[in-house]
Amino acid sequence: MTALPIPNVTLSNGTEIPQLGLGVFLVEPGETERIVSDALEAGYRHIDTASYYRNEAEVGRALASSGIDRDEIFVTTKLWNTDQPRPREAFEESLDRLGLDRVDLYLIHWPQPERGEALGAWRSLIGIAESGRASAVGVSNFEIEHLAELIDATGVVPAVNQIELHPLHQRRELAAFCREQGIAVEAWGPLSQGKSDLLERPEVVAAAGAHGKTPAQVVLRWHVQQQRIVFPKTARRERLLENADVFDFALSDAEMAAIDALDEQLGFGPDPRAFNAR
């Protein structure tokens, strides 16, 4: 099975991550193994899961049955909120479910600022990275003040911040802070999760027509040209290939500016300053 021609982004510690992968959030456990197997067969080499998704074991089975060398696949998983007081144990449990002895990226899933547990968890993740069992560590859904707390207290900058980001919700101040700190931005919900008319906006449709691409491919290309890492979710094999086919064209400065102008600060996910699901 040949890998797709997806470029890598180099993280601050030198770890290389494929710029586009498959996310399995809200993929039912019963479907996960098939979808991940299809993605790997199609040439994907980057899978993003989390303990909260309840499908790590199925991801692991797909990895094991793929026949692809472990070093060729980038695997991300995440520490759930209730496990922030016990990060090392939770990490070992994720490894067991995945059937792996290491992951490529391990993230704190949410900051939960009112609980004050993220900093202690971050100290443990630093130790996990130093042990070599995670090639890189980072966070997800952290705002500027949450990132600053970790950096100020430990001097260790997260390699990644995975946040909701799409043309209607561009998170410019947060993205700029991450850029200044050398934190790679991963965009979850890069197409707005199908909860908006983003793919019908004239600016997106016009660019799609100009390049012979779909509106979804145009939005993914908009992300890619800003050096973001993306992992759109799909259950369909043909969409897997379509989503990855965004590296053979470039949006013009005018097309990028037109999509930039769509920002409405309109997010569809939880507020990271208040979210505290257990």
Whether residue 123 contacts residue 94, with contact meaning beta carbons closer than 8 Å, is answered with no
Q: How many other CB atoms are found less than 10 A from the CB of residue 21?
A: 25
Write the pLDDT tens digit of every residue in 57-112: 999 999 999 999 999 999 999 999 999 999 999 999 999 999 999 999 999 999 99
CA–CA distance, 63 with 73 (Å, rounded to integer): 8
Whether residue 157 contacts residue 12, with contact meaning beta carbons closer than 8 Å, is answered with yes
Question: Residue range 198-214: average pLDDT?
Answer: 98
Tokens of 49: 């899961």
Write down the pTM of the prediction.
Answer: 0.96
CA–CA distance, 227 with 229 (Å, rounded to integer): 7
Average pLDDT, the chain: 96
Write the pLDDT tens digit of every residue in 9-62: 999 999 999 999 999 998 888 899 999 999 999 999 999 999 999 999 999 999
CA–CA distance, 10 with 2 (Å, rounded to integer): 22
Does 53 qualify as catalytic in the annotation? yes
Active-site pick, 44, 52, 53, 106? 53
Tokens of 47: 């899978």
Domains and CATH numbers, the chain: 8-191 (3.20.20.100)
